[in-house]
């Protein structure tokens, strides 16, 4: 693994504004996204998702359409 010496450590990062740190996180995630299929998924994550999917199927409630949820969130006080 290549080591990049220009990556700031936590104390230096803490000096950045919250907005700048969030922008930095966005850049890191954007750089990871093209390789997301190479990120290993722990077995317990798979088990958790399977459990949730089984519970949703057993419930019989399909939930709300995404558009409706977004509209409701936008109109929340």
Whole-angstrom Cα Rg for the chain: 20
- Model confidence pLDDT, tens digit, residues 13-51: 999 999 999 999 999 999 999 999 999 999 999 999 999
Instruction: For residues 40 and 2, give the distance between their C-alpha atoms in angstroms, rounded to a whole number.
Output: 20
Taking phi first (over 0 means left), then psi (-120 to 50 degrees means alpha), and beta for anything else, what does residue 4 get?
beta
Q: Answer whether residue 77 shows pLDDT above 90.
A: no
pLDDT of residue 33: 94
More confident of the two residues 1 and 28:
28
Instruction: For residues 46 and 40, give the distance between their C-alpha atoms in angstroms, rounded to a whole number.
Output: 11
């Amino acid at each position: 693994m290549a080591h990049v010496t220009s990556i700031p450590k936590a104390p230096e990062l803490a000096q950045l504004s919250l907005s700048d740190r969030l922008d930095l996180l966005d850049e890191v995630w954007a750089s990871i996204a093209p390789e997301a299929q190479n990120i290993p998924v722990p077995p317990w994550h798979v088990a958790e998702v399977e459990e949730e999917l089984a519970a949703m199927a057993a419930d019989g409630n399909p939930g709300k359409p995404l558009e409706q949820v977004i509209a409701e969130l936008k109109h929340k006080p």
